[in-house]
Amino acid sequence: MKKSIAVIDCAVKDPAIACFNRLQRETDKNLSYHNFPMQGVRSLNLEEGFEALIILGSHSNVGDGSDWHGPLIDFTIKNLKNNTPVFGICFAHQLLAHYFGSTMRANPGEKTLEGLREFELKSDTFGLKGKQSFFTAHNFQIEKLGQELEVLGQTEDSPFEFLAHKSLPYWSCQSHPEGSDFFLENEISFKLDESSRKKGLESGLGFLKAFISYV
């Protein structure tokens, strides 16, 4: 059986089907969609391993302690220890950072940070260098970073924007490179100007395609 790159949706509100479809159209790699809050590991266990995992965001948060958080961590760590590359986004960025010893907090003033976030990669990552521009929408963030992780990109309001594990094939970001037009309409409360919208769509897609090509 040909292995796929598993796109694991953590949505508890609107499934990220539009983001998955957009990514599938733009790559010749075999992708598979799995909604973890609804399906758990059932659909994932139907396949004989994965080439890589991309774990998406959620309206859930680490402090919820939802019953599917633990199984998702267990599944992800099992794959990482088998040297399967993993890329975590927003909620997944926080959930796995917490597993690796980080602490979380609400944003200052409990404010939702949303819009277009620009940051610069500190080192070559998946063949990319320099500035990246991703859409962002989150209410929580990392407060203190666990010792197993290192920072590869940061901004003033997101000091732990882009992370990597020091020994395992794990990377993650607080923002949303997978963001689609549907994401913009449903997760960001104000309308971005056309230049910012185009920049975020192109930069995010380009980054995920670089990760997919890397694995």
Domain ranges of the chain: 4-214
H helices present in 62-118, as ranges: 69-81, 91-99
Mean predicted confidence (pLDDT) in 91-107:
96
Q: What percent of the chain has pLDDT over 90?
A: 92
Query: Rounded to 5 degrees, what are φ and ψ at 143?
Result: -95, -45
* SS3 of residue 12 by DSSP: coil
* Chain segment 17-74, per-residue pLDDT in tens: 999 999 999 999 999 999 999 999 999 998 889 999 999 999 999 999 999 999 999 9
Contact predicate 173/102, CB 8 Å: no
Contact predicate 176/135, CB 8 Å: yes
Q: What type of residue sits at position 123?
A: S
Of residues 109 and 24, more confidently modeled:
24
If residue 194 lies in a helix (H) or strand (E), which one and from where to where? helix 194-214
Inform me whether the pLDDT recorded for 1 exceeds 80.
no
| Strand pairing category for 149-155 and 158-165 | antiparallel
Query: Which pTM does this prediction carry?
Result: 0.96
Class at the top of the CATH hierarchy for domain 4-214: alpha beta
